Amino acid sequence: MWTVWIIVGTCIVIAVAVLTSFLPAFRTAPLSWRLLSASGIPLSIVGVNFIIRFWEPTAGPYRANELYPFGNHLHTWAVSFGFAWLSFGLLFTVFALSGLRDRSRIVWFALLASWFICWLPHGIIGLAFAWAGGNAPSLEAYSKWSSEPQGFVLLLFNALTLLAHFGLSILGFVMTGIDFRRERIKSQ
C-alpha cells in the first residue's frame, strides 16, 4: 500500500506546485473567473479520493481484463478514472486562469464544452437509471454502506465535494458569461 501513498503524494505535490504558481493570477482575477477556476479543485479532490479508495496493489502476473497493478479490472477502471479527474481538475483550473488574461471567449467556450463532455456520460447514466427503474438495488447497496460510519462519511464527503464543484462551475460559467455580455454591450 505504500506505493499508493508515494504515487498519490507525488501527484498531489505536483498539482499543488502547479496551482501555487497560478496564485498571483487567481488573486487578481475577477470573481467570476476565480469561481470558474476554483471549480476544478473539487474534481481533483474527488480524483484523489477515487485513487486511494479503489487502488488495491496486486502482484503479477497480470492478465488483460482480469488483473492489473491497481487490482481487478473494475478497480483499475476506478483508479484510472481517479487519475483522469485529478488531471482534468488541474487542467480546468489552470486553463480558466490562463484564459482570463485576454478574456478569451474561445477559452471560455472550450472550458464549457469540455465540462459538458466530461459530465455527459454521467448524465446519461443517471437518466438511464431513473428511466429504467433499476435504481432500487443501487440505493439499497448505498443505504447499507452509508449505515456504517466510514461509508456515511465518505458518501457525505463526496456529495459535498461534488456540490461544491457544480456550484462553483455554474456560478463561474454564468458570471463569466454575463461579463462577456457586458463587455460586448459596452463595445457597441
Residue 70 has a CB neighbour count (10 Å cut-off) of: 22
> Which pLDDT score, from 0 to 100, does residue 84 have?
93
Looking at the predicted structure, is the pLDDT value of residue 172 above 90? yes
Contacts 24+ apart (CB under 8 A), 51-58: 51/4, 51/8, 51/11, 51/79, 51/82, 51/83, 51/86, 52/4, 52/8, 52/82, 53/78, 53/82, 53/154, 54/78, 54/79, 54/82, 55/4, 55/79, 57/1, 57/3, 57/4
Instruction: Measure Cα distances from 151 to 8, 105, 142, 155 in Å.
Output: 21, 42, 8, 6
* Higher-scoring residue by pLDDT: 118, 103: 118
Check whether 116 has a pLDDT greater than 90: yes
* Percent share of the chain, pLDDT over 90: 36
Q: Check residue 154 and give its pLDDT.
A: 87
In angstroms, the first-to-last Cα distance of the chain is 61
Q: Give the model confidence (pLDDT) of 3-44 as tens digits.
A: 788 888 998 899 889 889 888 888 888 999 999 999 999 999
**Cα dihedral sign, 84-89-92-98:** negative
The per-residue DSSP string of 72-109 comes to: EHHHHHHHHHHHHHHHHHHHHHHHHHHHTTTT-HHHHH
Look up the domain containing 158 and give its range. 2-187
For the cut 90, the answer to whether the pLDDT of residue 128 exceeds it is no
Indicate the number of domains in the chain. Answer: 1
